[in-house]
Amino acid sequence: MAEALSSADYERLAEERLEPGPWAYLAGGSSDEWTLRENRAAFARWTFRPRVLCDVSDISTATTVLGTAVELPVVVAPVAYQQLYHPDGECATARAAAAAGVAMAVSTFSTRSHEEIAAAAPGIVQWCQLYVFQDRGVTREHLADAADAGCSAVVLTVDTPRLAQRERDLRVGFEIPSDLPLPYARAAIGTEAQNPADQFALLDASVSWRDLEWIAGEGRLPVVLKGIVTAEDAELAVEHGAAAIVVSNHGGRQLDGVPATLDALPEVVEAVAGRVEVYLDGGIRRGADVAKALALGARAVLAGRAPVFGLAAAGEDGVRHVLELLRDELALALCLLGCTSPDELTRAHVQRSAS
């Protein structure tokens, strides 16, 4: 879209085109939304330390995640209910991700099955985001379907034993339509129209560290833990066999008052000490944000809202353009920092401002 020059432009277009309920769910946070705002504010607190007179005539944004080659250190984060944002839902997002050469994590509350997504976007690097329902049989079927469809990892979200108070949703009376296809959730939640809190109340709050082995075995895939913000939990994740960690506060949508993920990242990276890959989500809007996360030790980032802003505004083309913007902005940041690839970014390229 010619008028969109940044993900912020797509955010504005998405808000204009969406009904209040889906917009509240996509854009909002929990309680006072302090952590939601902090996720973005943290990127302003960390500033660059560029190096000059480096040969930056040949720039690449390519890297690997979990050993898989990708064109950009960005994974499309799991976002639920994507048919609410465009009729093609996750299939449109996946086609854009495949075109951009990036991985995509698919929500348990996806409106398309892993098989449908794989068929719509041949070659997509697809991860299965997992919530564990109280009915473990539903979760077993989900994991089996993910493995059969070629998913290469399970992203276990660990910060949602129950849904936080999301007041934007409540104020507008947001409900999930009863006819919205939810292939991995309908068997557990039934067919009545519900708000997200009703649906998430059916998740299993007893899931603990001992379940990691069960999930890894059942899914036959490496497990990425999403929702870690402390060194203590990072250590436990490594001890219990996690393949990677996502430093995440659920986009400011769970416990309000936890730190911005960019501020929490160094602590987790230090605790992990290179034993597993570390990713970051929360507030990614620019390629410069990606560069700061990588400089602080992340292998890659997960971006959820920004691609879905593109989806809501312009379908597959919008998602593709958002990913292209992130790629081009990251390439420019690398060039101006004196780096030729993501692997060259180090802690020496950023500093925390005094203010």
Nearest Cα neighbor of 153 from 99, 103, 205 is 103
CA distances from 81 to 32, 130, 187, 190, 321 (A): 24, 14, 16, 15, 21
Contact 106, 126 (CB under 8 A): yes
Q: Is position 114 annotated as part of the catalytic site?
A: no
Sequence-distant (≥ 6) Cβ neighbours of residue 299 within 8 angstroms? 63, 65, 73, 244, 277, 278, 279
Active-site annotation holder among 86, 250, 321, 349? 250
Contact 68, 101 (CB under 8 A): no
**Per-residue burial over 303-316, b = 16 or more CB atoms within 10 Å of its CB, e = otherwise:** bbbbbbbbbbbbbb
Nearest Cα neighbor of 266 from 176, 346, 162, 146 is 346
Q: Tell me the β-bridge partners of 225.
A: 156, 245
Spatial distance between the Cα atoms of 124 and 151, rounded to a whole number of angstroms: 9
The single residue listed with the structure tokens 């947001």 is 174
List the catalytic residues: 250
